[in-house]
Amino acid sequence: MLLTLDIGNTNITIGAFDGDDLVASWRLSTDSRRLTDEYALQLRELLPLKGVAIGDVTDAALCSVVPPLTSVFEEVTRSLFSCDPVVVGAGTRTGIRIQYQSPHDVGADRVVDAAAALHYYGGPAIIVDLGTATVFDAVTADGDYLGGAISVGVGLAGDALAANTSMLRRVDLTAPEHAIGKNTSASINSGLVFGFAGLVESMVRRFRDEMEAPDATVVGTGGLVPLIAGQTSIFDVVDPELTLRGLRHIFNLNREPAQTGGAR
């Protein structure tokens, strides 16, 4: 069994694969202050809750945008599962050629999402990741990662409103019934949910124009994608587990003999 770990700024998403099937997943809060033993204990307790025994895990793959936790989880996988994980970074085969001005500036999760979208859904593709940040990525049918855009996340925008105003408060993000809110909570939800749906639609149109790909597949992912996807028809595919599937695909690529070509 393969364990995949997506270490993000807010959450750590973990998936267990039996072959190509994602059989279980978990989410932990990200805390760069936690030690290896603390995370190892959490995993030891969490995995059996969904029927995965520690001894079932034979391999691991991870991507991380929290550098202090990369080495922590490398050690966790070695101590718990007796395996060296595939860590997505420089030198990892992904099938993606990075066309960024500085390739090392592209977050590992963005590369993994691009690889997953291309492999599972085909290209050209536009990936919209609705999480801590709202991230847009563009990849061609030939595997060229063209670049993307980064905006504030829906949740962060709501937190900023509450933190920087005297009269507004945090609200539970829900899909509003109307654009014209009749109370403060409804007004905030309208602005955030409908506003970000409009942001996604506008950015996708711009990406398609610049890519000269009017039929580019739009893949939505991230923890908040169900909230926004319910308010727009712009997504061709909604796959909240895209990064985990991408890690599975990249693990397979790096287990196979090296292929010729310039992909990262």
Tell me the torsion sign for CA atoms 236, 242, 243, 248: negative
Question: Catalytic: 20?
Answer: no
* Global pTM exceeds 0.85: yes
Ranges of the chain with pLDDT below 50? 258-262
Q: Which two tokens stand for residue 237?
A: 């595919």
Of 109, 129, 137, 239, the active-site residue reads 109
- What is the structure's pLDDT at 90? 82
Tens-digit pLDDT profile for residues 195-253 = 999 999 999 999 999 999 999 999 999 989 999 999 999 999 999 999 999 999 999 99
The CA–CA distances, whole Å, from 65 to 10, 48, 87, 210 equal 10, 27, 12, 28
